[in-house]
Amino acid sequence: MSDLAHDLVLIANAGDGTISTLRMERREEPRLEMIATSVAGQGCSTFAIDAERDLVFAAYKGEPAGIVTLKLDRTTGELHPVSRRDVDASMTYLALDASRSFLLGASYGGGFGEVWPVGNEGDLGEATAHVEFANLHCVVPDRGHAYFVSLGDDLIAQYDLGEDGTLTPIDPATIAQPDGSGPRHLIIHDENAYLITEFSGEVIRHDVGADGSLAPAESVSIVDPSAGLKHSRFGADPTQEGLVWGADVHRAGRWVIGSERSASTLATVALDAAGHLGEVADFAPTETRPRGFAVTDDGQFVIAVGEKSTDAALSRVEDDGRLTVLARVGIGRGANWVRIIAGH
């Protein structure tokens, strides 16, 4: 964790087509303060941050859909457009590789993923790679590899990401997930990968091999049993049928946290010393319909938003895994994506 006074928090408000910039104070009792709201584009719901160059790459919907590169002013929190690139269908997930030389995207509606080179000013060049799977929901670059999560095909596609931005399948090229589970978001931490599923509401841990290949290990449900939710399916309306609706996953030190939208909860799952999944320590109520949240780099705090809430909630991760809400601050409509720039 940085020893500086505060972090910057960026939140996408899909309902307003904006990104909110908040300051998170650290010196005394942690708190959030809204400092700016910037236009990003219709339905903005994912972005990636190059903190070294203060660039934000944000996806927007429309005809055509596209990705806008924005320059962050750290003093005011404002974001200013730099360049745009049209895409064939709106992006559901964006991520930068470790070198910040390539931006990777996954399109749920388009069923494809792409890789674009990033220029010196943040402009995006022509795609260097293109893959196709049903309802891609996530892409994660990690240590020279790239993982595309297909909700529609119940799999993770895994590749080596070349220095030229090309994708070469790892053997095996795809890793099957449980039928009808709806794989959604993935995070990787050292030798462990944690996948959350939308329809079954599980976190599934995978071992990460030396060659980057994933191998499913154990899983745990992040669905509050008192909510009475049933296994969901593709095309169903969870709000009408009382179905599981898993969404986002992040690691917080010795915990993994997963969000579930039907009951609006954050489940905290214990990890052992090797990062293997243990029991759920807490089902914490949070903002209504929590599609996205983020964890500070020290694992001590969670910032959560809800698609049906106009607040962001700051919580502390207690020693027993429970979440204690410390503050709330008003943001925009349809908030669904949170990222933190540490130690401003």
Per-residue pLDDT tens digits for 157-190: 999 999 999 999 999 999 999 999 999 999 999 9
Q: What is the pLDDT of residues 229-256, one digit of tens each?
A: 999 999 999 999 999 999 999 999 999 9
Model pLDDT for residues 270-303, shown as the tens digit of each residue: 999 999 999 999 999 999 999 999 999 999 999 9
114/47 Cα distance (integer angstroms): 15
Fold category of 7-341 in CATH = Methylamine Dehydrogenase; Chain H (2.130.10)
Q: Supply the pLDDT for residue 115.
A: 98
Per the structure block, which two tokens stand in for 46? Answer: 């994912």
Q: Is 150 helix (H, G, I), strand (E, B) or coil?
A: strand
3-state secondary structure of 36: strand
Q: What is the pLDDT of residues 67-117, one digit of tens each?
A: 999 999 999 999 999 999 999 999 999 999 999 999 999 999 999 999 999
Neighbours of 84 (CB within 10 A): 14
- Contact 195/249 with Cβ under 8 angstroms? yes
What is this structure's pTM? 0.97
CB 157 within 8 A of CB 208: no
pLDDT of residue 2: 40
SS3 238: helix
Q: How far is CA 313 from CA 14, 153, 330, in A?
A: 17, 34, 9
* Rg of the chain in Å (alpha carbons): 19
Sign of CA dihedral 75, 78, 84, 88: positive
pLDDT band for position 3 (cuts 50, 70, 90): very low
Q: Which two tokens stand for residue 264?
A: 């609006």
Gap between the Cα atoms of 68 and 59, Å rounded: 6
Looking at the chain, list the stretches that DSSP marks H as alpha helix, in order from N- to C-terminal side: 238-241
